[in-house]
Structure 1
Amino acid sequence: MSVFRSTIPDVAAEEPMIQLLAADGTRTPHAELDEVLAGRGGEDDLASPQRLRGYYRDMVMIRAADLEATSLQRQGQLGLWASALGQEAAQIGAGHASREQDYLVPTYREHGIAWARGIEPWRLLESYRGVSHGGWDPNELRTHPYMIVLGSQAPHAVGYAMGLQRDGVVGTGDPETDTAVLALFGDGASSEGEVSESFTFAASFDAPVVFFTQNNQWAISVPTSVQSRVPLAQRSRGWGIPSVRVDGNDVLAILAAVREALDAARAGEGPRFIEAVTYRMAAHTTSDDTSRYRPSSEEEEWAEKDPILRLRRHLEQLEEIDEAFIARCDEEAHDLAMALHHHIHGMEDPDPVGMFTHAYAEPHPIVEAEREQYLDYIAQFEDEGDDVGRDDAAEQKGELA
């Protein structure tokens, strides 16, 4: 008989999923995580009624921005949009669980993370319009620019974490100084080689990094069941990286799990991995058609697990929310959507040669030659009678000579 097994046991049934808020809003006590949420009390209490109302407002606001962005793309104002509809709890929870000094490395769908870190939605939309090459100062807001290539940000996150070790800001015992990295990616990206390579480096060097994957069930049209024969939470354990599976539509469970993981990473206890089980309620991007591969019954099932509705039900049970607050949040969300609409529609086209300006700190002969070539290229599209267009191009060439 061969020593190799040809079948894999049903490990999915053996992988527990942490949940503090049920779909109906009911709160389940959890001794360890409740202590994490309480923190040092006062303003540090992540589960206070005031904080809960803030999370609710954040999720309502970012969903409104998300829906408006989809509408703007349909109007031809954005080149593309990747919606985070349905994943608000995972992102708002993870964003607020981090400390101010932590460095967050997102992919291209972390609009809730951006909101929690103080990044205005219009900055995201400008990137998807193609007029911005980043949108914010990563050093100021401690948040890396969006990364489009799947999994490519994971090695960057680990490298940054290893740099923190060398800067002496890990495991010092000072909560105001110790720093960790939160690396975010989707279930599809978790199948990429860059993520596995990042696990290797993180585990080998005990890097202060928390890997956070939002398992939204679909890597475009490929279900998670095809990507992995075991729950994603088990993937990191082959590297010796502790992991946990969390209900990604439960903002409290996410807050507690991410805060605990980041605290451990900051303390010098090495990397952690979190699988947040959630659902992508919209298409992969605005170029995708979910009806070609996803049954409507599945979408209806997950609609009842809506993270915003879940938190609202919990607040109602606590009698910490009323119709006036809900209406106020909805009004603010509408105002935000309208502000985004007018901002994007009112934008002027950027200088077509602006991309050459900041390639290097000092003038570079190759960049200057490429700029000259590009100016000649765009000049040929001007109408023969359009002297202004040719004069503008000539003027730019003269200024840059």
Structure 2
Amino acid sequence: MRITCVGGGPAGLYFAVLAKLAGPAHEVTVLERNPRGVTYGWGVVFWDDLLDDLFSYDPVSARQISDAACQWDEYEVRATGKSVTHLAGYGFSLGRHKLLSILEARAVSLGVDVRWSCDISDIPSSDLIVAADGAGSTLRALDSKHFGTSVVMGGNKYIWLGTPHVFRTFTFGFERTPAGWIWFHAYPFDDATSTFIVECTPATWSGLGLDRLDAAAGCARLESIFAAHLDGQRLVDHRAESGGTGWMNFRRVTNERWDNGNVVLMGDAAHTTHFAIGSGTKLAMQDAMALADALAAGGALAPALEKYEHRRRAALAPLQRAALASSEWFERMPDYAGLPSTRFSYALSDRRGEYPLWRYLLHRGTQHAVPRALLRWALSARRWTRARRRPGVAPTAPAARAAPLPTGG
């Protein structure tokens, strides 16, 4: 089979890897519009369920991803006028550039033809074309009526920045300004850099003058607002060099159909989930797994694509509901600002509205040092036990795996 993946992000590259593993004779090509080594975005986050899947499908790239990832073992919540509180939870973060480098190298080692600085006019004759070219998919746009594409814009403004300030763990920070509340979602993804996503309502955005500032001036304004969290470090906008600005409204993309003849949608081209639940990369790579499975089962292409879509729609439904609830909570964030610190952070944690009463009692209890340390140890032990079940894994003991991240805010 001749397969072309349009888009060299996690979805396209990982599907190319899996397609080659399933059928070494397949002719697999990946086309990426950016030059080699150029990507927008900073770090991505994921959890143990994705690592479990990665080790199941391709232990080689899974081990490299696991080894390169930064681990964090709780969430920290900061807000003007409130004491710092903590939320239970753990996860992994990895630089997007590093993730793509690992997947590209693995794909090339298997014989995938990865081409850079290409567009859809460069698509070779193919039996299957995978549109993995993002939320603004050019390939999908050629027949958006057939796919039944719907794009709903979120209410808040946000911008995806980086900083050399290394946060200790995943951190939410809320600052009250004369124009209203503005906040960040930050996490480390290597020993020298953190992702720093800033979000606010449109009224606050314009009230702070961010609608009128270029990238450099906008970063300077945000550095001033979040100075207490950045320890004197800069904020960096990738788009500054091009003279643009990275402020956006989140686009909630859905499609009534995911395939059109031999073209199939994958990742953000098929669906998007709000960044506040950190599942975009995970869902894109799990799409790749499902499509690879559907094709490996054999048979005609049309039913295979239908099977892929049905499986992924069922898996996506609860996460899409959670993502919508999460984005709506942040749009209403000023309504919660008057809550005491512990109740505020719990409202942030329970923004889907699904937690039982005991979760609040646990949350209150673990704001104290000893219970919090015990919970972090228990979560670390759980992570270690889960990792031992993965193919070819011999993890270190929980205490070593729970070593602290680089110090910082």
| TM-score, with length taken from structure 2 | 0.28
Q: Which protein has the larger Cα radius of gyration, Structure 1 or Structure 2? A: 1
Relative to its length, the structure with more strand (as a share) is 2
Relative to its length, the structure with more helix (as a share) is 1
